[in-house]
Structure 1
């Protein structure tokens, strides 16, 4: 008998109307396709980090619940809320989605095949393309380098959060998502935890389009940039530990990039102040 698939998915929103978010629009576009039958089997959690709550149309998705956090608690807290709901729903997997990923029927078909197989992977990820580049999943053993991996079962990889699907029992064993990484580097921490199990990640053939804000640091506020620096320092000093030389070489290259190429002097000042202290002041 074919296994009944139980899947909870979380979509995190920030300052955008739910019915205009690309992720949700891509799901709605599948209403008249065979993929809609799969979508109807997913329990969606819409977690809104916007300043104001919104009235979400009941027909937005077949099966969803809406939560709002005026404080903008980030991703980790939102994911933990969804994990608790996934446990209540007896879900086998939790699917992570942000607002800027364009989902496709082929991705959903591959995903459902994987989660209903006799041997269920600990983590399932698609290939993600942003700004014309394959950015995920990549080789974890090459910090600060984007080296994409091929489809199939792969070891030692890192992937972005959006469209990654993980076993609920594994996430429970981790104690949920790490609140030390409320937003940035949460995906690095997550796949570091996957690697500690010595189980491979299933990389799907499907490629999804995604808008990744951190690819364009000029558009990032100094507060967000400071958060990225803090999270990066924390991750490479407490989890995937690398040599001091390797880390500080990367920091100097980042400084020169901000100074010479991007001429973003606010971020240069922040980096210099931080480098003198030798630790993020956040």
Structure 2
């Protein structure tokens, strides 16, 4: 059986692109909602009324813990597959049809679609060194031994969770990068679809008026990348990333608050 999983954060389920497209194009597939919202959006009632499976801890536990909670509590069976989607992804009927064909006829551990944002391919991509990535311009640029991809649109053979799970030291960012790194370590079989889906990728959009929100995300990024670099043996590269990212945010938002957040992250 195929299941869908969408983690919602401070949004009503009815407003999620992924939820709406899932209902439209694949209404008979069970949909799991993990609600990380810190405010009330009546999501539990919405899920109950629509026959969705609903989980929450009534706080934001982060992406990795949300995924692992679902894995531990769903008790998936052999031949079950899990489609993971961000709450702001646009998916298509072609995507669902290709996923169904792939899980029916083959035994893949991970299946990845082509994901585009702002007219660029953001997934899949190639690993570069241990904690870096290299974007591609076309599918043919992928290197089999280095393929990685973002969570949204990823399809996982649930038997894989008997070998690896998500790194709960990572709160939000690089969770998918780390997961795919673990897949490669156990020689998991990865398949790339022809289908394309669209992601409203937040790093391509920013609001200069929302400095506090930008600082919050900035701190999460630096925390998680520091963890990733340390675990991959390239702790030194974190400082290069942190400096470059700080300068980029200073230019974008014209706020010195990012300098304070930078020093907090390197202590």
Task: Normalising by structure 1, report the TM-score.
Answer: 0.81
Matched residue, 2:46: 56
Whether 1:212 aligns to 2:211 is: no
- Determine if contact 1:9/1:43 at 8 Å carries over to the other structure: yes
Task: Judge conservation of contact 2:125–2:133 (CA < 8 Å) in 1.
Answer: no
Q: Paired residue for 2:183? A: 194
Do structure 1's residue 18 and structure 2's residue 5 form an aligned pair? no
Q: Does 1:69 align with 2:69?
A: no
CA deviations on 1:143-163 (whole Å, 9 max, x unpaired) are 254235617993312211111
State the number of aligned residues. Answer: 257
Sort the Cα spacing of 1:197 and 1:88 in 2 relative to 1 into closer, same or farther, 3 A.
closer
Match of residue 97 from structure 1:
85
Structure 2 matches for 1:1-282, cutoff 5 A? Answer: 6-30=1-25, 36=26, 39-40=27-28, 42-50=29-37, 51-52=39-40, 53-54=42-43, 55-56=45-46, 58=48, 60=50, 64-88=52-76, 90=78, 92-117=80-105, 119-141=106-128, 143=132, 145-147=134-136, 150=139, 154-174=144-164, 176-216=165-205, 220-239=213-232, 241-242=233-234, 244=236, 246-275=237-266, 277=267
Change (3 A) 1:153 1:164: farther
| Greater helix fraction, Structure 1 or Structure 2 | 2
Q: Deviations over 1:52-94 (max 9, x none)?
A: 253216563xx52112331111212221222134424555222
Q: Distance in 1 between matches of 2:138 and 2:80?
A: 26
The 2-side partners of 1:122 and 1:144 are apart by 21
State the TM-score, normalizing by the size of structure 2. Answer: 0.85
